Each structure stands twice: as structure tokens, then as C-alpha cells.
Amino acid sequence: MIQLNLKYIVDGETAGRAVKSILKTKLNLSERLIKKLKNEHKILCNNVPVYVNKPTSVGDLIEVLIDFVEECDDIIPEDIEIDILHEDDSLIIINKAPHIVVHPTFGHPSGTIANAIMFHLLEKGICKKVRPVSRLDRDTSGIIIFAKNQFVQEMLIRQMKSKTFIKEYLGIVQGVVQPLQGTIDLPIERKPGSIMLRHVAPTGAPSVTHYEVVEHYQDASYLKFSLETGRTHQIRVHCQAIGHPLIGDTLYSPSGSVFIGRQALHSQSVAFYHPFTSEKMVFTAPIPDDMQNLLKILKT
């Protein structure tokens, strides 16, 4: 069991500050979460619920009870098989299969990873909102993380912004990529007139993808990607922009592929620090069968 309470003992430096100031600067809580915790009476000073504008004194124990009861999402629980790589009191890490949506949308109201997780939690008697920390496209496989409370979600997103949350992908692209490693630094924005498509444009948001060639084939390359930014379709758009679209990506390369029924892209690994224990967490997901088969074909 991971302790889901946050604690801070007021010292000479912080004495006199309001509880709210300590929550924000020492316990890294957002304004939104502080408001929710205050309404739930989960902010304590010396074991007693307290107003957040109360000034503190040396030796005061400020405690926050993160794991409080909340209403479940309106996501319908569905008994869908999922590959859970890791689960604790704070998060669930999934190895997502291709061809499944992460979270319900207008076009996919059910049959998603979130529906499966809701079923999994309720089977264990746990009522939680389903909080994706990051998302993958429907046909991209690999690691995706869900937080079990708002604090964990916010802390992991903060790590992404500070570049301490590392994501690596594997992809198979058309053509022989040169040089063997490099950086694609091209801004991305939504393509005018399209809900789904993105493209490189000077007015787009900064987008940076690092790549390294794992192996070359006759007319294809097996690449490892790491992201500095997380724009929608970033790897797919950047690969198209440099003339090496992902094999099977019919959205950004009309030719498609008879050897794989999706874009050949896999979220292989993540590394981050656990929001409660500060332990470095590293997880990998094996490359799926369809991409392994594609690599075998390319080697022949």
C-alpha cells in the first residue's frame, strides 16, 4: 500500500505563511485541487481540518488526504481484456493493443480502454474517475498511463512539461533515413478544414522529435523516437514532413501497406518519478506481433 497522504512540518522558513501557500509551494498542489480538498475537509493542521488562509507556526503538521471518495465518471464499465503492466494505489499502466480507442468520444462512445479500466476498478470495489495522463491514437500500440486521483495526474503532467517524464516510441518508416540520428524541429497545427489532420506550418505550436535509426532495410528504416513535445499526431506528421512517412499510415501516406493494417508505431517505454514515493519508475512494452511480422518481411 502506498501512503496517499501528503505531509509537511512547518519550519522557521515557512512559519507565518498561510496554509494555502505551503500547499502550493511545498506540496505542489494546484489551485483547482486545493479547492476540491478544502470542500472535502481533507486539509489538516495538527490533525484538525483547517481553513487554507490560517497562518502557520513552527512545528505545525500540515497534512493533505489525497485519496478521498469521488463520484465515478459516467463511463460505462465494459469487460474488455487489457494488458496491465503495473498497478498500485496511484496509477495503472497499460500496454494498449492497436485498433482500440483510449477514451470515449462522440464517434467511439464505448469499447475503449477507459471503459475497460472502469470495469476493472469496479470489480475491485473501487469507484474512481478515469484519468488518462497521456493518449495514444487508436491504431498506435503500447504504453499508456491512467492516474487514480487528480494529484497524480497533475504531477505526471508537470513532469512531462519539465522533461523528467520520458517517452520513447518505435516506428517503421518508408525509405532509408539519413543521418542515423537527428532532431525534427518543425511546428505543427491543425490542418485548415480538417478535424483530424495536422500539418507542419510556421504558425503551428513548437514540436520537437528526436530520432535514432535502429536498423536500415532496402527501402525502409526502423527508428526509435523520443519526444520533447506531445502534439497530436506529432511523430506521424514529422515523419511525413521529412519524406519518410510511417509504413501503414493511410492518414498521412495514401499508399498504405499490404503488410500491416495500421501505422507502424509503438509506444515502447516510459520513465518518470512516482508522485508519492519519488521512486524512478521505468516500464517497457514488447513490440507487438504485427510490427514484428513487418520487420521479418523487410529483412527478407
pLDDT in tens, 217-260: 999 999 999 999 999 999 999 999 999 999 999 999 887 788 99
Q: How many CA atoms lie within 13 A of 187 on its CB side?
A: 7
What are the Cα distances from residue 64, in Å, to 60, 101, 169? Answer: 13, 35, 36
pLDDT band at 83 (very low <50, low <70, confident <90, very high): very high
Q: Is the previous residue joined to 179 through a cis bond, with omega within 30 degrees of 0?
A: yes
**Which of the four pLDDT bands, split at 50, 70 and 90, describes residue 2?**
low
CA 51 to centroid of chain Cα atoms: 34
User: What per-residue confidence (pLDDT) applies to 45?
Assistant: 96
Domain borders along the chain are 5-65, 166-267+292-299
Tell me, yes or no, if 137 is annotated catalytic: yes
3 — pLDDT class (breaks 50, 70, 90): low
pLDDT attached to residue 257: 80
Residue 68 confidence (pLDDT): 67
In this predicted structure, the answer to whether residue 33 has a pLDDT above a threshold of 70 is: yes
Catalytic member of 79, 83, 89, 137: 137
- Cα of 47 vs its chain's centroid, Å: 34
Give all strands of the β-sheet with 48-49 in edge-to-edge order: 5-9, 61-65, 43-45, 48-49
- Asked if 94 and 144 touch (Cβ cutoff 8 Å), the reply is yes
Residue 169 pLDDT level (bands cut at 50, 70, 90): very high
Q: What is the DSSP string of 60-94?
A: -EEEEE-----PPPSPPP-----EEEEE-SSEEEE
Other C-beta atoms lying within 10 Å of the C-beta of residue 222 = 21
In the CATH hierarchy, which fold is given to the domain comprising 5-65?
3.10.290
Class for the domain spanning 166-267+292-299: alpha beta
Within 10 angstroms of residue 253's Cβ, the number of other Cβ atoms is 19
C-alpha distances in Å from residue 278, one per residue of 146, 164, 228, 233, 275: 18, 12, 22, 30, 6
138 has pLDDT over 80: yes
